[in-house]
């Protein structure tokens, strides 16, 4: 009897240990400026996204899933480090800047590497490159993705609307001719080359604001670029380039556990769909590039299935921030929108402290492991590091992340009680179903992009259970709740942080 008991005990220990040592592959698909209403499985807009829907309907579709910030670079920093971006003064929108992740920081890919994973990033980076000054694109660029945990990287440095308009593989510009070196300038030196302001006759896409410098492929950009002619990308082929490079990378690692950060450029401006997607949405280039991105996601899903690794692969789909229509170019995004609602039933959008700035599509999928579900638990991208660490049996933890492995991967447990949200150096606070936005100076609406920013002379308080569109400010009628939230918010930020925040914005 005793021997039988010991045998059962050791079988139990072995099974527990086996569960802790599972090594599912992970493909984290990150879109750029995709709104809460842009994925049709959320049933809020009219655009159809069948491939994202297939994954959403087979996994967990979160209705309270958040990016950390309403802009790109800060959200990506939080995703990679599990740390609130407002804790890092450098975690702001980057234009040709240096790496904002310290090489000593723990990151998501570093954690995966420590657990025996191959790690790769393909697509948009926008977390900075190099350190201590301007980036030299004519030699090995370091530090970058490879120095913060990725074994392989095939990226564009910042965004499609900024120079340099080249791909970078493991720190080297692809197809660079050493006799035609690259020069980059974000000041006033145009190198005597055509620009968006001087040569409108050369444009295939007209600029609306902020995108009127170097012209590449008929598209005016942010900043000037000289040289590197053979290395310049083709905008309309970018989606194909990234999905093909992602597949090529997976071909080399598919027999091992891997983590792939597949970072799509769509639907960020400039929206340049391949000709086979032009007109497919009926909503102009913005809708067309979302259809293109949906196709890319279908291609990734099919690759995993055809190679027999789908059932051992966790797929995550999300966005770095909320939507924007006119973000610098005339491309009919406003005129051809029709009945579609990129923000769904939420207020605001990109750059905004209102919900549409940070509440984004958020999907987890693991065939045969995750049961299809719609979840209203509050989850954030900051929590990926701790949650994957827990799933894999790692001891790695971040200070700001929460272990939501049960919520993400096991249809169990509860989400967050609270989180601090950020938008262009301003912060707000969500606690359970309440949201508090502190007073901030500045315009209520950004006229260039026509988005409400959340700026107000007074505190704003909303109950999302009763008012998801944030139309009814309860700060005056419920001062007790307001004061309770202010107290907790300032405790998290620290009074000195809140004072510094006010000074920076004034």
Asked, for residue 6, whether it belongs to a domain, the answer is no
- Are residues 416 and 404 in contact, defined by beta-carbon separation less than 8 angstroms? yes
Asked, for residue 7, whether it belongs to a domain, the answer is no
The pLDDT assigned to 7 comes to 44
* 144 lies in the same domain as 279: yes
CA distance linking residue 326 with residue 330, whole number of Å:
7
* 197 lies in the same domain as 259: no
The pLDDT tens digits along the chain (506 residues) read 555 544 444 444 444 444 446 899 999 999 999 999 999 999 999 999 999 999 999 999 999 999 999 999 999 999 999 999 999 999 999 999 999 999 999 999 999 999 999 999 999 999 999 999 999 999 999 999 999 999 999 999 999 999 999 999 999 999 999 999 999 999 999 999 999 999 999 999 999 999 999 999 999 999 999 999 999 999 999 999 999 999 999 999 999 999 999 999 999 999 999 999 999 999 999 999 999 999 999 999 999 999 999 999 999 999 999 999 999 999 999 999 999 999 999 999 999 999 999 999 999 999 999 999 999 999 999 999 999 999 999 999 999 999 999 999 999 999 999 999 999 999 999 999 999 999 999 999 999 999 999 999 999 999 999 999 999 999 999 999 999 999 999 999 986 555 445 545 44
Among 416, 444, 463, residue at a domain's last position: 416
The pLDDT assigned to 500 comes to 46
* 323 lies in the same domain as 458: no
Among 374, 390, 416, residue at a domain's last position: 416
Range list of β-strands (E), 219-304: 219-220, 224-226, 258-263
* 80 lies in the same domain as 195: no
| Structural domain of 438 | 419-505
* 412 lies in the same domain as 423: no
* 188 lies in the same domain as 256: no
- Are residues 173 and 184 in contact, defined by beta-carbon separation less than 8 angstroms? no
* 63 lies in the same domain as 33: yes
- CB burial of 435-469 (b: ≥16 within 10 Å; e: otherwise) equals bbbbebeeeeebeebebbbbbbeebbbbbbeeebb
Asked, for residue 15, whether it belongs to a domain, the answer is no
* 119 lies in the same domain as 193: no
* 411 lies in the same domain as 442: no
CA distance linking residue 364 with residue 304, whole number of Å:
15
The pLDDT assigned to 122 comes to 99
Q: What is the dihedral of CA 219, 221, 224, 229, to 10 degrees?
A: -40
User: Measuring CA to CA, which residue among 380, 454, 462 is closest to residue 85?
Assistant: 380
Whether residue 143 has a cis bond before it, omega within 30° of 0: yes
* 216 lies in the same domain as 147: no
The pLDDT assigned to 10 comes to 43
In this structure, the strands spanning 60-66 and 362-365 are antiparallel
């Amino acid at each position: 009897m005793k021997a039988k008991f010991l045998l059962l005990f050791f079988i139990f220990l072995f099974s527990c240990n086996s569960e802790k040592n599972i090594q599912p592959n992970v493909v984290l698909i990150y879109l750029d400026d995709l709104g809460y209403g842009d994925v049709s499985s959320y049933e809020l807009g009219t655009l159809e996204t069948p491939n994202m829907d297939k994954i959403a309907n087979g996994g967990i579709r979160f209705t309270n899933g958040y990016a950390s910030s309403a802009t790109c670079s800060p959200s990506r920093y939080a995703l990679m480090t599990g740390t609130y971006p407002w804790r890092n003064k450098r975690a702001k929108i980057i234009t040709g800047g240096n790496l904002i992740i310290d090489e000593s920081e723990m990151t998501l890919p570093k954690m995966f590497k420590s657990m025996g994973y191959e790690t790769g990033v393909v697509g948009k980076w926008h977390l900075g490159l190099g350190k201590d000054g301007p980036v030299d694109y004519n030699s090995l660029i370091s530090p970058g993705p490879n120095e913060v945990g990725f074994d392989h990287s095939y990226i564009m440095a910042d965004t499609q609307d900024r120079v340099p308009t080249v791909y970078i593989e493991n720190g080297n510009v692809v197809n660079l001719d050493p006799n035609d070196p690259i020069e980059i300038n974000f000041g006033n030196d145009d190198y005597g080359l055509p620009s968006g302001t001087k040569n409108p006759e050369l444009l295939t896409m007209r600029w609306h604001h902020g995108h009127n410098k170097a012209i590449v492929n008929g598209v005016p950009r942010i900043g000037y670029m000289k040289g590197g002619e053979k290395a310049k990308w083709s905008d309309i082929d970018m989606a194909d380039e990234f999905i093909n490079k992602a597949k090529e990378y997976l071909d080399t690692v598919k027999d091992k556990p891997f983590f792939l950060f597949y970072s799509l450029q769509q639907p960020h401006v400039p929206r340049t769909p391949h000709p086979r997607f032009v007109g497919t949405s009926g909503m102009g280039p913005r809708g067309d590039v979302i259809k293109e991105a949906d196709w890319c996601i279908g291609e990734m899903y099919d690759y995993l299935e055809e190679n027999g690794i789908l059932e051992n692969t966790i797929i995550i789909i999300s966005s770095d921030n909320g939507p924007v229509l006119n973000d610098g170019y005339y491309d009919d995004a406003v005129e051809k929108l029709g009945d579609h609602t990129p923000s769904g039933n939420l207020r605001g959008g990109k750059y905004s402290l209102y919900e549409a700035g940070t509440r984004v599509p958020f999907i987890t999928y693991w065939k045969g492991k995750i049961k299809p579900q719609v979840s209203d638990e509050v989850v954030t991208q900051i929590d990926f590091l701790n949650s994957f660490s827990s799933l894999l049996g790692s001891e790695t933890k971040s200070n700001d992340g929460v272990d939501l492995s049960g919520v993400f991967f096991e249809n169990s447990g509860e989400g967050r009680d609270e989180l601090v949200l950020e938008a262009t150096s301003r912060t707000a606070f969500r606690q359970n179903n309440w949201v508090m936005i502190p007073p901030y100076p500045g315009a209520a609406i950004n006229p260039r992009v026509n988005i409400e920013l959340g700026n107000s002379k007074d505190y704003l308080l909303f109950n999302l259970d009763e008012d998801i569109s944030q139309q009814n400010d309860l700060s005056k009628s419920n001062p007790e709740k307001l004061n309770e939230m202010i107290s907790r918010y300032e405790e998290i930020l620290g009074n000195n942080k809140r004072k510094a925040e006010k000074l920076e914005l004034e």
